[in-house]
């Protein structure tokens, strides 16, 4: 992602042109040639979008994975994966090699350090990620599918600002960074009684079992601690000293530990050594971490960590991608002693270095997603890869054609073992000749199931394409996946509802303002899903994910690059207007 893009946005007028979409499908499906719909508030006029179906060669169905691994606590043996072949020996510095899918060349990699391949690292279903209620990492779980927790009582389909809390700007990397930026999602945690007591929270929060805390690292280098209901300070902010740009993570076991990667190299001219940082939320200070300026990294001089960590509670392992091009697997040795009111952590780090023929810039900015023992990475060179979290073996890899920063979305199959991935790339390395490729991939095999190509616009200051992570439809939109694409031809961006099964574009909405903010879906007690997305004009939209129409729009004062999170009826997000907002859906 282009770093200069975090300055105040620059808008360049461009001629309006039709957006062309192409779907590539595995099976023969007839689609309508026009994807149109009624207008909604806060958008440009909707134009017809031509859709063409291109048939992919028929492939034999891979053998099913045996049922004996259906136990959610059991890892999937690699030799039982459909079509899996062991990697071959690499050359030079590379230990292993595997041919790329649907492309010439190979992915090569090596493991640096003493990896523990005896301890299973296995995530359960997304609903099992955390032992305490809330949104404890980017998009809430290992599937990156839960940016909202619980359900909301929605009657009027309205948004209202309930509280604000001020944040600051910072000068860093020869630019001015305002408030909170990409991905910048807040964390919302309903702590257990033991953690509340140990942290010494301000009253009445320490004694309130319904209390939910907002934890929000921002550009100013500060981690704010607020009450979700009122915005009141629950404990003094943690002075992190170095700017945060991405999203943090709270230990899913409910331990009072926060994992937050540094996003920028200096704070108002004071140099900050690159570092992944772990904070004790009892003592409100940094207690552990590791350097981002890593001699083993393929990318020198840039050691940021925008990605939010995934933690497997059972094995005590953390997986994190670095913008230096390394994958980190860390045994945390974390513990929480409620009796003494203390927490400890002492990470032991193993690293993976990898490369493909396209590798030049390196760096993982999107957060790692996982299905069971398999985790998924995308990087700045367009390498999408699946890895075994236990052995750190690559399972498959394919090239997606451009920089890919948006976090992978995982959808578990309902009728058999396995999962799907929804991914997309930017219009970056390819310049104006590029298109945004939205894809559905089989998680176990890497097979392309469908592809939708959206014409895009290259802008060196504000990246176009898919920068926001996809949203899985639910309720009345259960058949859809929602993509928020920035900088399309003829508009500032487009919001698309795509049929999950076919790749058909069910609806498309042209946007008057580009958006990097990831849309969220809030489940209503009425069984409907309520979509929320924010844009560069400072608007928060409450929309129907079944058709893209707005129910309500409110103004938040400035560009919202950050992705919101929600708990019940409350939504939280920070933005360029130097505020954190608590917003109620009613």
pLDDT tens digit sequence for 185-209: 999 999 999 999 999 999 999 999 9
Does residue 175 sit within a domain?
A: yes
Q: What are phi and psi of 319, to 5 degrees?
A: -120, 130
Supply the pLDDT for residue 54.
Answer: 38
Each residue's pLDDT expressed in tens, for the chain with a length of 586 residues: 444 333 333 232 222 222 323 333 433 333 333 333 322 333 333 333 433 333 344 455 555 555 545 577 789 999 999 999 999 999 999 999 999 999 999 999 999 999 999 999 999 999 999 999 999 999 999 999 999 999 999 999 999 999 999 999 999 999 999 999 999 999 999 999 999 999 999 999 999 999 999 999 999 999 999 999 999 999 999 998 899 999 999 999 999 999 999 999 999 999 999 999 999 999 999 999 999 999 999 999 999 999 999 999 999 999 999 999 999 999 999 999 999 999 999 999 999 999 999 999 999 999 999 999 999 999 999 999 999 999 999 999 999 999 999 999 999 998 888 999 999 999 999 998 889 999 999 999 999 999 999 999 999 888 899 999 999 999 999 999 999 999 998 899 999 999 999 999 999 999 999 999 999 999 999 999 999 999 999 999 999 999 999 999 999 999 999 999 999 999 999 999 999 999 999 9
Query: Which helix (H) or strand (E) is 122 found in, with range?
Result: none
Could you tell me where the DSSP H helices lie in 53-129?
A: none
Contact 490, 510 (CB under 8 A): yes
pLDDT tens digit sequence for 485-502: 999 988 999 999 999 999
Site of tokens 């292993």:
96
> Can you tell me the distance from the alpha carbon of 403 to that of 395, in angstroms, rounded to the nearest whole number?
21
CA angle 136, 171, 405 (to 5 degrees): 45
Does residue 66 sit within a domain?
A: no
Distance of CA 360 to the CA centre of its chain: 23
Contact 70, 77 (CB under 8 A): no
CATH number of the domain residue 341 falls in: 2.130.10.10
Site of tokens 């770093």:
3
> Can you tell me the distance from the alpha carbon of 168 to that of 394, in angstroms, rounded to the nearest whole number?
42
Contact 575, 179 (CB under 8 A): yes
pLDDT tens digit sequence for 115-124: 999 999 999 9
Q: What are the residues facing 152 on neighbouring strands?
A: 524
Structural tokens at position 289: 């971490």
Does residue 69 sit within a domain?
A: no
* pTM of the predicted protein model: 0.91
Strand order in the sheet with 374-377: 369-371, 374-377, 383-388, 394-399
Does residue 67 sit within a domain?
A: no
Supply the pLDDT for residue 460.
Answer: 87
Distance of CA 260 to the CA centre of its chain: 14
> Can you tell me the distance from the alpha carbon of 391 to that of 408, in angstroms, rounded to the nearest whole number?
21
Full 3-state SS string of 13-51: CCCCCCCCEEEEECCCCCCCCCCCCCCCCCECCCCCCCE
> Can you tell me the distance from the alpha carbon of 555 to that of 568, in angstroms, rounded to the nearest whole number?
21
Supply the pLDDT for residue 6.
Answer: 37
Full 3-state SS string of 155-178: CCCCEEEEEEEECCEEEECCEEEE
Contact 316, 308 (CB under 8 A): no
> Can you tell me the distance from the alpha carbon of 551 to that of 340, in angstroms, rounded to the nearest whole number?
50
Contact 179, 166 (CB under 8 A): no
Supply the pLDDT for residue 227.
Answer: 98
Does residue 70 sit within a domain?
A: no
- Cβ neighbors of 60 (< 8 A, separation 6 or more) are none
Supply the pLDDT for residue 415.
Answer: 84
The residue among 118, 108, 122, 76 whose CA lies nearest residue 445 is 76
CA angle 240, 278, 225 (to 5 degrees): 55
The residue among 393, 382, 408, 297 whose CA lies nearest residue 105 is 382
Contact 247, 137 (CB under 8 A): yes
CA angle 146, 148, 154 (to 5 degrees): 135
From residue 326, alpha-carbon distances to 110, 111, 296, 298, 320 in Å are 10, 10, 8, 8, 9
Contact 151, 524 (CB under 8 A): yes
Q: What is the CA radius of gyration of the chain?
A: 22
Does residue 235 sit within a domain?
A: yes
3-class state of residue 233 by DSSP: strand
> Can you tell me the distance from the alpha carbon of 556 to that of 564, in angstroms, rounded to the nearest whole number?
12
Write out the residue range of the structural domain in which residue 47 sits: 3-61+76-585
* Strand 565-567 with 148-149, pairing: parallel
From residue 394, alpha-carbon distances to 108, 203, 229, 506, 534 in Å are 9, 49, 44, 35, 36
Supply the pLDDT for residue 53.
Answer: 34
DSSP code for 511:
E
Say how many domains are in the chain. Answer: 1
3-class state of residue 5 by DSSP: helix
3-class state of residue 59 by DSSP: coil
Supply the pLDDT for residue 63.
Answer: 57
Beta strand spans in 173-248 (E): 175-178, 187-189, 213-217, 222-227, 238-239
Does residue 68 sit within a domain?
A: no
Supply the pLDDT for residue 62.
Answer: 57
The residue among 295, 283, 265 whose CA lies nearest residue 345 is 283
Distance of CA 466 to the CA centre of its chain: 12
Supply the pLDDT for residue 307.
Answer: 98
Query: Which helix (H) or strand (E) is 193 found in, with range?
Result: helix 193-199
Site of tokens 């600002």:
161
> Can you tell me the distance from the alpha carbon of 197 to that of 191, in angstroms, rounded to the nearest whole number?
10
Query: Which helix (H) or strand (E) is 581 found in, with range?
Result: strand 579-585
SS3 content of the chain, % helix, strand, coil (to 5): 5, 40, 55
Query: Which helix (H) or strand (E) is 91 found in, with range?
Result: none
DSSP code for 127:
G
Does residue 234 sit within a domain?
A: yes
């Amino acid at each position: 992602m282009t770093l200069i893009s975090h300055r105040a946005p620059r808008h360049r007028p461009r001629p309006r042109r039709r957006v062309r979409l192409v779907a590539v499908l595995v099976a023969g499906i007839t689609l309508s040639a026009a994807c149109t719909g009624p207008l909604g508030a806060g958008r440009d006029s909707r134009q017809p979008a031509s859709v063409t179906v291109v048939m992919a060669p028929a492939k034999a169905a891979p053998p099913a994975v045996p049922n004996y691994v259906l136990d959610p606590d059991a890892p999937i043996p690699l030799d039982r994966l459909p079509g899996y072949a062991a990697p071959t020996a690499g050359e030079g510095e590379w230990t292993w090699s595997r041919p790329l899918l649907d492309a010439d060349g190979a992915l090569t990699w090596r493991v640096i350090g003493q990896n523990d391949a005896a301890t299973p690292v296995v995530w359960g279903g997304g609903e099992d990620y955390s032992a305490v209620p809330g949104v404890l990492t980017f998009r809430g779980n290992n599937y990156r599918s839960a940016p909202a927790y619980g359900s909301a009582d929605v009657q009027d389909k309205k948004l209202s600002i309930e509280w604000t809390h001020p944040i600051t700007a910072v000068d860093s990397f020869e630019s001015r960074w305002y408030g909170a930026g990409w991905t910048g999602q807040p964390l919302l945690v309903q702590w257990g009684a033991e953690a509340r007591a140990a942290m010494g929270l301000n009253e009445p929060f320490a004694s309130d079992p319904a209390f939910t805390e907002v934890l929000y690292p921002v550009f100013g280098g500060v981690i704010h601690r607020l009450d979700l209901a009122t915005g009141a300070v629950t404990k003094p902010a943690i002075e992190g000293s170095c700017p945060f740009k991405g999203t943090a993570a709270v230990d899913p076991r409910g331990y009072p530990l926060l994992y937050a990667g540094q996003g920028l190299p200096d704070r108002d001219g004071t140099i900050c050594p690159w570092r992944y940082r772990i904070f004790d939320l009892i003592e409100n200070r940094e207690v552990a971490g590791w350097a981002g300026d890593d001699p083993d990294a393929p990318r020198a001089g840039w050691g940021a960590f925008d990605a939010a960590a995934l933690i497997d509670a059972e094995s005590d392992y953390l997986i994190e991608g670095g913008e230096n091009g390394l994958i980190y697997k860390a045994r945390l040795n974390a513990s929480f002693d409620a009796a003494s009111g203390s927490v400890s952590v002492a990470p032991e780090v193993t690293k993976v270095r990898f490369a493909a023929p396209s590798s030049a810039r390196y760096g993982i900015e999107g957060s790692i997603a996982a299905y069971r023992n398999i985790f998924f990475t995308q990087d700045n060179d367009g390498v999408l890869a699946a890895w075994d979290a236990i052995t750190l073996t690559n399972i498959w890899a394919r090239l997606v054609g451009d920089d890919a920063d948006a976090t992978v979305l995982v959808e578990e199959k309902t009728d058999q073992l396995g999962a799907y991935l929804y991914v997309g790339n930017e219009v970056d390395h390819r310049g104006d000749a590029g298109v945004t490729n939205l894809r559905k991939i089989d998680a176990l095999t890497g097979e392309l199931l469908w592809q939708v190509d959206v014409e895009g616009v290259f802008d060196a200051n504000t990246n176009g394409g898919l920068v926001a992570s996809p949203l899985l439809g639910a309720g009345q939109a259960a058949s859809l996946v929602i993509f928020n694409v920035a900088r399309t031809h003829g508009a500032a961006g487009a919001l698309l509802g795509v049929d999950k099964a076919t790749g058909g574009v069910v609806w498309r909405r042209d946007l008057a303002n580009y958006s990097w903010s990831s849309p969220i879906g809030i489940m209503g007690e009425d069984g409907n899903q309520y979509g929320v997305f924010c844009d560069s004009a400072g608007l928060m939209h409450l929309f129907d994910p079944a058709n893209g129409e707005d129910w309500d729009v409110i103004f938040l004062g400035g560009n919202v690059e950050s992705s919101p999170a929600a708990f019940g009826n409350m939504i939280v997000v920070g933005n360029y207007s130097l505020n954190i907002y608590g917003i109620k859906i009613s």
